[in-house]
Every structure is written in structure tokens, then in C-alpha cells.
Amino acid sequence: MKVLVLGAGNVGRAIAWDLREEFDVHVGDVSEERLKTVSEFATTLKVNAANFDELVEVMKGFELVVGALPGRFGYQSVKAAIRAGVDMVDVSFMPENPLELRDEAERAQVTIIFDAGFAPGLSHILMGRIWQEMDELKEGYIYVGGLPKEPRPPLYYRITWSPKDLIEEYTRPARVIRDGQITSIDPFERIERVSIGDFEFEAFVSDGLRSLLESVRADRLEEWTLRWPGHLEKMKVLRELGFFKPEHVDNTLDVIVPLMSYESPDFSIMRVIGKGTLDGEPKEIGYLLYDEERGGFTSMARVTGFTAAIVSRLVAEGGCIYGVIPPEILGMRIDTFTRITQELAERGITIERWENAPPGDS
């Protein structure tokens, strides 16, 4: 099967590497320099994702497309896949709602699985499994972060993904469920301290629930993104001073990206908690993931790219219906949930399940 991976960045490279032995993998990107990083294990081609017609024509030559582009190209890429009549798995943090394309995808008889990375993605798969295991989910919380093990001042963060998508997290209103209703709040409305095991983080509410807002019923549902202490207050000040406005953000990134570009191994951490009832009794179920950089890939590339690659195999095997499918559906199905978590474990990404008491909390 011919597979096209769109995007030769850290995540796209991990996806292509993971699929290389089972598929005829091609990687498309506008940057020839990035394409060189994948040329040893994939066929490369120059593709301009900003050109919709070009994207459609390129996609027609493949049986499956895996999108690993920045969020601003995500929705257009999904529309191009539907126009080309090809299945697609996408990890971009697109601001649009791809579920709006559900009818078009069904008519074209293609399968689109969006947000199939780490968070959103694996976070939704875990929350979907929790929701399925309970009679009623009252509260759900996702705590997630990808961080350097050796943070450096002044921003205590290392860039391992799209810088513009990072800023989007701080500027896009965060949609949550409170009192059973969807509401939007300022991501910096409240900065909290969060302890997970021996780690002490600061956290802000982020707009990562996305399709969970429609597919999971709860009284309260929130995603919190984790950062090392000292980062968020500085980013909040920059936002308040207008440095993240569209007309200024490119200049701002020119200044702050070098401050977040340095050598340090990274790690990924996620805790997903659901509180509700089962058989009339209170029930709490949770999952804990911790992963470190290894094998030539950042941890963020591993947890995002390998998750997308595993989901891509499910689609390639015809294991998913036509239409636009949110990732939590894969968690609600025990067969796909088991497949994904087992294959992640084979890649050294282990997920610990617990009930009623989070492991290792201080």
C-alpha cells in the first residue's frame, strides 16, 4: 500500500519511520532540508500544502494519507483527502471542526480520523475508554505535558513542535464542560500547581477537548496542559502586551523561539482521570503515561507519531467505518483500544491503569 505522510518535521519523521517496513512510504513537505532527514527510509517529494489543487492531485496517487502538518493546514488537508477520495489520519491541531465534513466523507466513502496524536489523540482514546467503563461519568480531567528534562531560563520550555501551534494554545479560548454545559474560558484564567509523582508543575486550561465536548457527557470535563514553573506567567505577560496578536506573532517568535531551542532530552507525561458511578457505587478510573526521548526521536515525536502510525494501520486494514471519526471512538471500542495500547507498549510507551488512587502521587 502506498502511504503519503504530509510533513517531514519531528512527528512526520517518526510516523514514516514506524510505517516504513510494512508500507511503501512517501513523505511530502515544502522544505527540501526537512525532506533530507527522512530520505534514508522513505521516498520524498516536494509538496506545497498551501496549494489545495496541488494537494488533491498529489493525494490521488496514494491509498492512505497521514497528516503531520501545522494546524493551519489541517482542515484544508482533510478536505483535499475527501476530494481525492483517499483515507486520512491527521494529527494537526486545526482550529476548525472536522466533524463538519462528516457528510462529505461518507459520500466519498473515505475514512478520516482526526486528532490522532498524543493530545488531542491518545488523551481522547483514554477518556473514551473511561467513559465506556462507567454507568455515568460525572467529572473528567486530562493533565498533559511535553517538557524538557533540563529546562533553561528564561522560559523553561523547549520547542519540539510547531511554534505557532504552541502560541495558539495560549490565545485560543479553552472550551470546557462545567455544570453539564459547554463554555469557553480564557486559558490563563487560572494558573494552578499540579503534583504528579515527584514532579511539580504549573498548569493552564487548554482547548484540547475538541470532539470530546460532543461525544462524552459529563458534569465537568477539562484539559489542563502542564509546564515547568516560571513559564506561564511570562507567556501571559507577552500575550497581555499584544505580542501574540497576528500582526506581531512572527516577530515575537523570532525572539522567543531561540530561547526555547536548545539541547535537552524531553519527556511526555499524561494523567487522565474519570470520576463517576458504576453499579450504583462511586468509581474513579485513571491512566498514567510517562515516556522519555530515545531511539533518535523526541518523546513528543514518539507519543504523537507512533500513536498516529498505529491508528493508520487500523485504517489501512479497513477496521474503521466511512466518515469523520473522532479518536475517542477508538477508545470506546475495546478491540481498537487494546490494539493501540499494546502496540504502544511494544514501542516502550507504557500506560498504567489505576482505580480510586493515582499511583505515585505525593
pLDDT in tens, 114-145: 999 999 999 999 999 999 999 999 999 999 99
Q: What is the mean pLDDT of residues 319-334?
A: 95
In sequence order, the 6+-apart residues with CB closer than 8 A to the CB of 24 are 1, 2, 3, 43
User: Hey, is 147 helix, strand or coil?
Assistant: strand
Q: Contact, 269 vs 218, CB < 8 A?
A: no
Q: What integer best gives the mean pLDDT of the chain?
A: 95
pLDDT of 321 over the 60 cut: yes
Q: Contact, 56 vs 78, CB < 8 A?
A: no
pLDDT of 21 over the 60 cut: yes
Q: Contact, 184 vs 213, CB < 8 A?
A: no
pLDDT, tens digit, 9 for 90 and up, residues 31-62: 999 999 999 999 999 999 999 999 999 999 99
Angle at Cα 305 formed by Cα 253 and Cα 260, nearest 5°? 25
In this prediction, residue 163 carries a pLDDT of 87
pTM of the predicted protein model: 0.93
Alpha-carbon distance of 234 to 345, in angstroms, equals 37
In this prediction, residue 22 carries a pLDDT of 97
Alpha-carbon distance of 5 to 3, in angstroms, equals 7
Alpha-carbon distance of 103 to 99, in angstroms, equals 9
Alpha-carbon distance of 349 to 254, in angstroms, equals 34
Please state whether 86 falls in left (phi above 0), alpha (psi between -120 and 50) or beta. Answer: beta
pLDDT of 359 over the 70 cut: no
Percent of the chain with pLDDT over 90: 92
Strand partners, 223: 142
pLDDT-derived band of residue 101, with 50, 70 and 90 as boundaries?
Answer: very high
Q: What is the mean pLDDT of residues 247-264?
A: 95
In this prediction, residue 160 carries a pLDDT of 75
pLDDT of 170 over the 60 cut: yes
